[in-house]
Amino acid sequence: MLFSTRPKEKKQDLYNRDKEVEMIKDSISRNEWIAVLGMRRIGKTSVANVAVNESGFVRIKVDLKTNCTKEEFLSILSQAKAQSTDNKVILVIDNAQYLPKIAGVQTPSIFHNLYDNYTNVSVVLVGVQLS
């Protein structure tokens, strides 16, 4: 097939998004968290994939679109924390607009704890912009 409908992974496959990729890479290098927001199908997942791949750090990714349970979400979070003792880890949370839908997960306190105590974990939130 000539054109894939999947999100892109490589910079050479991504058209006209150098600025966005650099912005995300900059944030990652400064250990800042970043949100990639925009309309559906505009290329958010692709831009985040390429930037994180280019950064060369460990990527841990969860897509909340596929009905992520509390256990799955917490397990991925634990993986990110565990890996961060030896590596810089980029935790990509795709379709982050569904975060409030994961039953029983207190996201504000989880993120507060992650931000304060796990400085080797940078979070990239990818989501459809609400409002």
Ligand X SMILES: Nc1ncnc2c1ncn2[C@@H]1O[C@H](COP(=O)(O)OP(=O)(O)O)[C@@H](O)[C@H]1O
Q: Which does 16 bind (CB under 5 to 8 A by kind): ligand X, Mg ion, none?
A: ligand X
Pairwise CA distance, residues 14 & 39, whole Å:
17
What number of other Cβ atoms are within 10 A of residue 45's Cβ?
Answer: 22
Candidates 38-46, 84-92, 106-114, 115-123 — which segment interacts with ligand X by CB under 6 A? 38-46
Contact in structure between 92 and 124 (CB atoms under 8 Å): yes
User: Closest residue to ligand X, Cβ-based?
Assistant: 43
Q: Which does 5 bind (CB under 5 to 8 A by kind): ligand X, Mg ion, none?
A: ligand X
Contact in structure between 9 and 92 (CB atoms under 8 Å): no
Contact in structure between 62 and 75 (CB atoms under 8 Å): no
* 64-123 binders of ligand X (CB under 6 A): none
Question: What residues line the site for ligand X (CB under 6 A)?
Answer: 5-8, 14-17, 38, 40-46
Question: What residues line the site for Mg ion (CB under 5 A)?
Answer: 45
